[in-house]
Structure formats: structure tokens, C-alpha cells
Chains A and B, each alone.
Chain A
Amino acid sequence: MTRDVLQEKILDILVRDFEFQDPQLDDNLRDDHGFDSIDAIELLGKIERIFGFSLTREEKEKAMDIRTINDILDYLEPIYQGRSK
């Protein structure tokens, strides 16, 4: 899965399930869209289904520092590339 495809899927989830209005890649998730830590846990569960594998506890904890959609992609890309080899 390329970064572009991943980006498309994440944006789709954020718009459809989290009701983001016109999300931009560098928007602050909390300030601009009211996205909080509970939302992050919910999003990770959806990402696990996209990936087809579950994230480790350590990987999930690292996700709590994410601030933007670009951060999400930077965080997910190496995990996906590493696990899908």
C-alpha cells in the first residue's frame, strides 16, 4: 500500500466516521477537528482492519503523540512497510 493510497483511506475514515470538514494534511487534529485520544484509539482499531494485522501496545502508545494527518501517515507508513514484507 503506497502512502497515497493510505492517505486516501485515512482521509475517507476521518471524513466519514469522524465527520472532519475539509481536512488538510497539516491541520491540528485536536484544535481544528476536536479529535482527542479516545478518537485516536478508535481510529487505530479501524486502521488494524485496513492493514489486516493488529498493532502492538508499544505502537499504539506512540500514536498518542500524533498531531496532524501527516503525522498519522509518517507513523503508519513504516509500520505497514515493516510488517507486510
Chain B
Amino acid sequence: MKRRVVITACSAISPIGYGKKAITDGLQHGRSGVRPLRDDGLLTNHIHSRVFGTVDYPINYQFTRSQRKTMGPVAYYACQVAGDVLAASGLSEEFITSGRLGVAFGSTHGSPTVQREIYKTFFQNLEAEFSSIGAVDYLRSMVHTTAVNITRMFGITGRVIASSTACTTSSQAIGFGYEMIKYGMQDAMVCGGADEYDTTTVAVFDNLLACSVAYNATPERTPRPFDRKRDGLVVGEGGGAVLLEEFEAAKKRGAPILGEIIGFSCNNNGGDLILPNLAGITATLRLALADAAIEPAAVDYISAHATATKMGDIIESQAIEAVYGDRPFVSGLKSYTGHTMGSCGVIELIMTLYMMEEGFVAPTLNLDEVDPRCAPVRHTPGVLQTKTKIAAVQNFAFGGVNTSLLVKNGREAGI
């Protein structure tokens, strides 16, 4: 059994805004969501990189106390966007709770904010005789906290996939959700990812000399994917969700078709856990095309992973050139948001869907002078009014995990 899988709703909380209007506006006007790193009273002053892709606007959460008690900050993002897509879908409560709808959702490492509270136990000698670890701290911090807070909040009884592979967390979630429906295991899936503000994540990349440090006084000028003066990634926060449905059922109930997932691939470099690997990345791009049964020339736009690290952008450019040549437009959307970690795949997919719907592609922000080593691909030369029929969303993670999602414009989905 192979069934078609379409996207019928999406929602993102990103450093450049919440919802389609704000995000589209940010992309069209070259707005950066990178801000000075907030002070957490712990690590901020010990980190060289002082910039962060920041969600700095209020969000009107309507969660009850009962819902909130098992949620850390990461689950707030996750449940908010999951609630948005379920509300937008118009799916009945009967279907949502039927067991035919599942959840594929993840984060890099649950809620570090709550984990920090747990760790304090080790340093509270004076109170050692009391129960310092709260009853719900594990539920709020565990690695699958986003997925199961979504199931709890909406009474979802289907499959749960809680991917947690750093930067490929949500692209895996979408890909695995797509496969669940394609092969008949589920009829619909809420897929995505989220990550919260956390300086320990910044510190991890900072220690590896992978973070941007040269633009601390001008946060909006970094990250700079593919640019000659790029100096590393900028960690960020956010969340995004897409609702995937089996095509015939979605069509039958008159759901809006925002796009169709036509291909997915996921592989591993089989070796080093940090360094980008040309062979591994090239292979995953080809595997996605094979899954979709399309030629490279059918792809009009590529949302590159493009973190703005020195080597990562070069290797990705080489892989894109090897597979796609210089035909599709390419941009690195993290230039607007920073690297939102576990949510980057879904946020970049949603940005791509918005651009497809509105008939434009956004360029890489801060790409003032292309690094010649990243030059062989077709960098998007400014906001371009163009019709994208098929786009690729690429993500690569620590651990050597690579993914590629291929998505067809909803208007082209053959309804």
C-alpha cells in the first residue's frame, strides 16, 4: 500500500514571528529574528557568542493549570502550534481520538530549563532530606515531553514517534509521519518539533567553535550562510507543526491542500558525529528524489540546511551542485531565524509552504558576498516572484544524520 500524503494545516512560532502573515512579511522584507543573547544568570557571561534567534513577542497561551503542570517551555511551543493545526484542520474530536491520528514530534533534549531545576538537587545539601525533585519535573523535561503533552492535551490515542536527533528532529518527525500515512499505519499525523531558549545548547556549539562571535554588536547581521564573512551558527528557539493527512480523505472532506510530501530520505554518515560528510549528504539528496520518483530538474527551490558554519555550507553547496546542478534557487532560511535546533526542519518547511503559496522565494539574508567555495549553486538573488512547483527542505544533524523532504505545491497536487 502506498498512499499520497498531503499537508492540510501548519503553524510556526519563529524568531521572525508567529503565523503566516508575520513570517511571510519577515521573509519579504528581510527581517532578522536574531537578538542579543538573553541573560540566564548561569552561562550567558561565559559564552563567546552573544546572539540568539529569539522569540521576543508575547504569545497568548490559553492552557489550563492541569495542562500546564506537565509542560516545560518547550511543550508550550509544541502544544500551541499543534493546537493551531488541529483547530485549523476542522477534524472532528471523534477522529482525533480514534487512534487513526498519531503524533511525530520532538525536541533536541526535552526541557533544559526544567532539567536545570532537577540538577540543583545535587547542590542543595541543606535541603537534602526533602523531596527536591518535583513530582512532574520528569514529565516536563523528558525527551518525549513535546509529543506526549500534545497527545494528553488533545486526547490523541494513535502512534507516538518522539524523534530527538538535534537539527534533524522535526524533519525526521515529518518524514516518519509521512511514512506512517503512506504505508497505511495511520491516516493522519501531527508532526513537528520545538526547542526552547537555552544557553547550554549555545554553550555546546560555542565550545566547538561553531557559533558566530564576530557580530555580537550587530545581531541582525548574523548568521550569514554561504557568505564569505560567515563565522558560524546562531542558536535559536521556536516550534512548528504540520498536519499530514492521507490525500483521498483530505480531498473528500474538502480540506485545504497546502502541499504534498512526495519524498523523504534519512541516512547516516556512518562515521564522524560532527563533521559534515559530502558522500552522506549527497546520498540523502538522491534517496529523496528516488523516493519521490522525480528527476533533479523537477525541483525548483531548495531550502538549504545552511547553518553558516565554515565547512558545513561548503559541503552542502557541493552536494547540491552534484545532485541538482545550478538550476534550482537556493536559500538558507536560518539567516532569518537563527538555528532553531529541533524545530528548524518544520519551520523551514512551513516557510517554504508560505513562499509557494504566495509565489515568491526569499534570498539568504546577510549574503553580501558569496564564498567562492559555495558558488556553484544558484543563490536566490533577492526576493523573487516565482512559481515553485516542487521544493526540497534539507537538514543535517550532529550524529551524522541527514534528511531531505520533497514537497509539491498544494496547487499542483492534482486535486
Interface residues in chain A, defined as those with a beta carbon under 8 Å from any beta carbon in chain B: 18-19, 34, 36, 38-39, 41-42, 44-45, 48-49, 53-54
Q: In whole angstroms, how far apart are the Cα atoms of A68 and B322 in the complex?
A: 69
Q: Which residues of B contact A18 (CB under 8 A)?
A: 65
Q: Which residues of B contact A39 (CB under 8 A)?
A: 69, 135
Q: Which of B65, B70, B132, B136 has the most CB of A within 10 A?
A: B65
Q: Which residues of A contact B94 (CB under 8 A)?
A: none
B359 interface hit (Cβ, 8 Å): no
Q: How many A-B residue pairs have CB under 8 A?
A: 33
Q: In whole angstroms, how far apart are the Cα atoms of A36 and B139 in the complex?
A: 15
A55 vs chain B, min Cβ distance (A)? 8
Check B135 against A19 for contact (C-beta < 8 Å). Answer: no
Q: In whole angstroms, how far apart are the Cα atoms of A54 and B132 in the complex?
A: 11
Nearest 9 CB-CB pairings of A with B: A41-B135, A45-B131, A19-B65, A42-B135, A54-B129, A48-B130, A34-B66, A38-B135, A54-B130
Check A48 against B69 for contact (C-beta < 8 Å). Answer: no
Q: Which residues of A contact B65 (CB under 8 A)?
A: 18-19, 34
B134 interface hit (Cβ, 8 Å): yes
A54 vs chain B, min Cβ distance (A)? 5
Contact pick for B134, options A34, A36, A45, CB 8 Å: A45
6 contacts between A and B (CB under 8 A): A42-B69, A44-B131, A45-B131, A54-B129, A54-B130, A54-B131
Check B136 against A38 for contact (C-beta < 8 Å). Answer: yes
Interface residues in chain B, defined as those with a beta carbon under 8 Å from any beta carbon in chain A: 64-66, 69-70, 127, 129-132, 134-136, 139
Look across to chain A and name the residue whose beta carbon is closest to the beta carbon of B131.
A45
A47 vs chain B, min Cβ distance (A)? 10
Q: Which residues of B contact A49 (CB under 8 A)?
A: 127, 130
Q: Which residues of B contact A38 (CB under 8 A)?
A: 69-70, 135-136, 139
B63 vs chain A, min Cβ distance (A)? 11
Q: Which residues of B contact A48 (CB under 8 A)?
A: 130-131
Q: Given contacts A18-B65, A34-B66, are A42 and B130 in contact (CB under 8 A)?
A: no
B117 vs chain A, min Cβ distance (A)? 12
Check B134 against A42 for contact (C-beta < 8 Å). Answer: yes
Look across to chain A and name the residue whose beta carbon is closest to the beta carbon of B133.
A45
Q: Which residues of A contact B130 (CB under 8 A)?
A: 45, 48-49, 54
Q: Which residues of A contact B69 (CB under 8 A)?
A: 38-39, 42
Q: Which of B66, B70, B127, B136 has the most CB of A within 10 A?
A: B66
A29 vs chain B, min Cβ distance (A)? 12
Q: Which residues of B contact A54 (CB under 8 A)?
A: 129-131
Check A42 against B136 for contact (C-beta < 8 Å). Answer: yes
Check B135 against A45 for contact (C-beta < 8 Å). Answer: yes
Q: 9 extra interchain contacts, Cβ-Cβ under 8 A, other than A34-B64, A42-B135, A45-B135?
A: A19-B65, A34-B66, A38-B70, A38-B136, A38-B139, A41-B131, A41-B135, A42-B134, A45-B134
Q: In whole angstroms, how far apart are the Cα atoms of A34 and B134 in the complex?
A: 18
Q: Which residues of A contact B70 (CB under 8 A)?
A: 38
Q: Which residues of B contact A19 (CB under 8 A)?
A: 65
Look across to chain A and name the residue whose beta carbon is closest to the beta carbon of B70.
A38
Q: Which residues of B contact A45 (CB under 8 A)?
A: 130-132, 134-135
Q: In whole angstroms, how far apart are the Cα atoms of A9 and B138 in the complex?
A: 27
Q: In whole angstroms, how far apart are the Cα atoms of A38 and B132 in the complex?
A: 15
Q: Which residues of A contact B129 (CB under 8 A)?
A: 53-54
Q: In whole angstroms, how far apart are the Cα atoms of A41 and B132 in the complex?
A: 12
Q: In whole angstroms, how far apart are the Cα atoms of A19 and B67 in the complex?
A: 12
Look across to chain A and name the residue whose beta carbon is closest to the beta carbon of B67.
A34
Look across to chain A and name the residue whose beta carbon is closest to the beta carbon of B137.
A42
Q: In whole angstroms, how far apart are the Cα atoms of A44 and B130 in the complex?
A: 10
Q: In whole angstroms, how far apart are the Cα atoms of A44 and B131 in the complex?
A: 9
Look across to chain A and name the residue whose beta carbon is closest to the beta carbon of B139.
A38
Q: In whole angstroms, how far apart are the Cα atoms of A46 and B66 in the complex?
A: 18
A43 vs chain B, min Cβ distance (A)? 9
Look across to chain A and name the residue whose beta carbon is closest to the beta carbon of B128.
A54
Look across to chain A and name the residue whose beta carbon is closest to the beta carbon of B66.
A34
A46 vs chain B, min Cβ distance (A)? 10
Look across to chain B and name the residue whose beta carbon is closest to the beta carbon of A17.
B65
Q: In whole angstroms, how far apart are the Cα atoms of A39 and B66 in the complex?
A: 9
Look across to chain B and name the residue whose beta carbon is closest to the beta carbon of A41.
B135
A9 vs chain B, min Cβ distance (A)? 16
Q: Which residues of B contact A41 (CB under 8 A)?
A: 131, 135
Q: In whole angstroms, how far apart are the Cα atoms of A82 and B241 in the complex?
A: 54
Look across to chain B and name the residue whose beta carbon is closest to the beta carbon of A34.
B66
Look across to chain A and name the residue whose beta carbon is closest to the beta carbon of B132.
A45
